[in-house]
């Protein structure tokens, strides 16, 4: 899987916005999708040297630009 994306924007109304910022999910940051659960949620992402799991509904609040690779639908 190991697909990379650049964060463009996070939904400012998201209730866990500060938590996402604390994880290092900031506009301009490159993240890597490294895995997902069998039913598609949670997603496992790598960012700034750490790995985190986030729910699919949280991931939908993050606008990204997929970097040149094959894209997996979230």
pLDDT of residue 13: 86
N-term to C-term CA, the chain: 12
Contacts of 12 (CB under 8 A, 6+ apart): none
Q: Give the closest residue to 26 by CA, choosing from 48, 7, 44, 11.
A: 7
Q: Distance (Å, rounded) from C-alpha 9 to C-alpha 63?
A: 5
Is the model more confident about 18 or about 72?
18
pLDDT of residue 70: 53
The mean pLDDT value for 8-18 works out to 87
Q: Distance (Å, rounded) from C-alpha 25 to C-alpha 28?
A: 9
| Domain 3-62 of CATH type 2.30.30.90 | yes
Q: What is the mean pLDDT of the chain?
A: 87
């Amino acid at each position: 899987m190991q697909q990379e994306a650049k964060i463009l924007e996070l939904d400012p109304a998201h209730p866990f916005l500060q938590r996402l910022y604390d994880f290092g999910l900031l506009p301009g940051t490159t993240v890597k999708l490294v895995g997902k659960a069998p039913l598609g949620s949670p997603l496992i992402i790598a960012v700034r040297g750490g790995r985190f799991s986030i729910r699919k509904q949280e991931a939908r609040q993050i606008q990204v630009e997929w970097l040149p690779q094959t894209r997996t639908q979230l």
